[in-house]
Amino acid sequence: MKVISLNFLTCAVKSCKSSGAAFPLHPKDAELVQDDIELNAQMLLNILPRLDWAALRTNATELGFPELPAELPTREALEADEKKLKDLHHLLVETQIMEGKLVCRNCGHEYAIREGIANFLLPSHLV
Amino acid sequence: MTAGTAETSSSSSFDPETYESTHVHSVYEAIAPHFSSTRHKPWPLVADFLASLPPGSVGLDVGCGNGKYLAVNPSLWLMGSDRSANLVSLARENDGRGRRRQRLNEVTVADSLALPYRASSADFAISIAVLHHLSTRSRRRAAVRAILDCLRPGSGEDGRNGEGKAMLYVWALEQGSSRRGWDEDASQDQLVPWVTKAGTGKTHKESDSRKPENDTTWHRYYHLYRKGELEEDVQAVGGVVLHSGYEKDNWWAICTRGLEM
Ligand SMILES: [Zn+2]
């Protein structure tokens, strides 16, 4: 699972959906793998405004990445600074969590990630 | 070997979750590699829908099966989910041409009635041949709403700017021209056989009359939608149907989340 996808995932428990504490999920014991993927600048620039930037900052720090700026840099700033865009590409698209857990801070449930695939099926007492 | 009418909601002791576990989930877990090997070609209307989206659109494939749509348009960020862990493993590597994809697909194991996605965050969603596996109308409608909840609401004067869209595809009751021969008078709840040939990993077509002793026949539950039913279900949960139609034994609809309920 790529870091970018983490930005669109939340707890599957119904009563957590309305809780601010359920997003983002927090990686735990995460084993990261870095892939070499060609940068698609147009695609990335279009995706960036769709991210919840505060959640991304939280997850990036949790995964051991350098702290991101408080605000999403503007499109112009990123177009003018290829290094900045490449760093984001590296974090969002090239980094994946292969093994570990995703923890919901509202209900405490931990979702396992194995071979890059998170399992969101709920035990019967949480359905 | 013919399809059998399924006994579903008519029985008072009917438990839809147990029923679907037996007649949908377990079957797909068991037949996943065989099923996947017969499912390569994207349906043209779905491929057109995916091709029409701007680069960088973020979307979901709810019930992605073997993942045949995940790589159709590589400039989308498309995340797949399915109830079957075995299908999800296959979907992770599917490049859409039956080969292993260079960049692995983004997939999770999830139930369509308990989706793990941030609300109002997706530009688009597809759910192809999934809703018809839910065994009560209230569950089918809840699944539609769960998908619509993931879509971005529109903005701007008419409320349509950047509005997320979902494409839904379900099996039709009206299949007069298919080999299954169902029509408007057939039962809408059916158990449809899938035969895996012992030892070879190959499947018979459903109409194949050869059936050696040691083949295994699985029965998948389907709810066959009659004309207009899919649109009714979308509207019943507050969604708005933009376009809908019939294509090769299936009903389809493209819809938006509608105004907040
Ligand atoms: Zn939770």
In the β-sheet with B216-223, what is the strand arrangement from edge to edge? B4-5, B189-196, B216-223
Residue-wise pLDDT for B181-209, tens only, equals: 777 777 888 888 888 876 554 554 544 44
CATH number for the segment(s) B16-177+222-256: 3.40.50.150
Segment B125-150 shows an average pLDDT of: 97
CATH number for the segment(s) A3-126: 2.20.25.10
Domain boundaries, chain A: 3-126
Q: Out of A17, A45, A117, whose CB is closest to B107?
A: A117
Domain boundaries, chain B: 16-177+222-256, 193-221
How far apart CA B26 and CA B165 sit, in angstroms, is 31
Where does residue B199 fall: left (phi above 0), alpha (psi -120 to 50 degrees), or beta otherwise?
left
> What is the reported pTM?
0.91
B chain contacts of residue A118, beta-carbon cutoff 8 Å: 108-109, 116
Q: Which amino acid is at B246?
A: Y
Looking at the complex, does the CB of residue B55 fall below 8 Å from at least one CB of chain A? yes
B chain contacts of residue A11, beta-carbon cutoff 8 Å: 116
Looking at the complex, does the CB of residue A35 fall below 8 Å from at least one CB of chain B? yes
Closest residue in chain B to residue A126, using alpha carbons only: B114
Residue to mutate among A2, A9, A58, with most B CBs inside 10 A, is A9
Q: Do A37 and B106 touch (CB under 8 A)?
A: no
Looking at the complex, does the CB of residue B205 fall below 8 Å from at least one CB of chain A? no
Q: Do B111 and A120 touch (CB under 8 A)?
A: yes
Mean pLDDT value across chain A: 96
Residue-wise pLDDT for A8-30, tens only, equals: 999 999 999 889 999 999 999 99
B85-93 vs B26-37: helix crossing angle, rounded to 10: 30
* DSSP secondary structure of chain B: ---EE---TTSTT--HHHHHIIIIIHHHHHHHHHHHHT--SPPHHHHHHHHTSPTT-EEEEET-TT-TTTTSSTTSEEEEEES-HHHHHHHHHB-SSSSB-SSPPEEEE-BTTB--B-TT-BSEEEEES-GGG-SSHHHHHHHHHHHHHHBPPPBSTTS-BT--EEEEEEEBS--TTSTT---TTS-SEEEEEEEE-TTT--B--TT-----TT-EEEEEEEEPBPTTHHHHHHHHTT-EEEEEEEETTEEEEEEE--S--
Segment B84-108 shows an average pLDDT of: 84
> Which pLDDT band holds residue B101 (cuts at 50, 70, 90)?
low
User: Lowest mean pLDDT: which of A48-52, A96-100, B160-164?
Assistant: B160-164
Residue-wise pLDDT for B11-38, tens only, equals: 678 899 998 888 888 888 888 888 888 7
Residue % of chain B over a pLDDT of 90: 56
